[in-house]
């Protein structure tokens, strides 16, 4: 089995990421993996103004990630039914579409 490919997480278009989960529930793995990726130093260095807020609750709540973009749009991902790879893929595709440096190149 091949080792997982390292992915670069770019937070340029992101204003705030709120990650909430109950650590005692069995379905939080993907949400915790996503938090580890977006909370890493390398990812945070791509946008120092982006807030990453982990909310650890003990209320048996469903794991969820809410991403607020610079343009006011939000992305809500329910982590109970998504894998870490699916969450990251959805996040990256939305970030790529909103990348301010990518838009001028697309117009040419």
What is the pLDDT tens value at each position of the chain, 108 positions in all? 444 556 678 899 999 999 999 999 989 999 999 999 999 999 999 999 999 999 999 998 899 999 999 999 999 999 888 998 999 999 999 998 887 665 544 444
- What are the Cα distances from residue 82, in Å, to 1, 27, 106? 22, 9, 31
Give the span between the Cα atoms of 86 and 100, in whole angstroms: 24
- For the chain, strand residue ranges (E) read 14-21, 51-56, 64-69, 74-78
Query: What pLDDT score does 42 carry?
Result: 93
Q: How many CB atoms lie within 10 A of CB 65?
A: 23
Domains of the chain: 14-96 (3.40.30.10)
């Amino acid at each position: 089995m091949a080792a997982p490919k390292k992915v670069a997480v770019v937070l340029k278009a992101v204003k705030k990421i709120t990650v909430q989960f109950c650590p005692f529930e069995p379905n939080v793995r993907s949400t915790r993996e996503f938090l580890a990726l977006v909370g890493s130093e390398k990812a945070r260095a791509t946008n120092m103004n982006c807030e990453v807020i982990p909310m650890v609750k003990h209320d048996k709540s469903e794991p969820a990630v809410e991403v607020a973009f610079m343009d006011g749009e939000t992305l809500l991902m329910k982590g109970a039914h998504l894998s870490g790879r699916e969450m990251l893929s959805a996040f990256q595709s939305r970030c790529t579409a909103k990348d301010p440096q990518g838009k001028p190149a697309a117009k040419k």
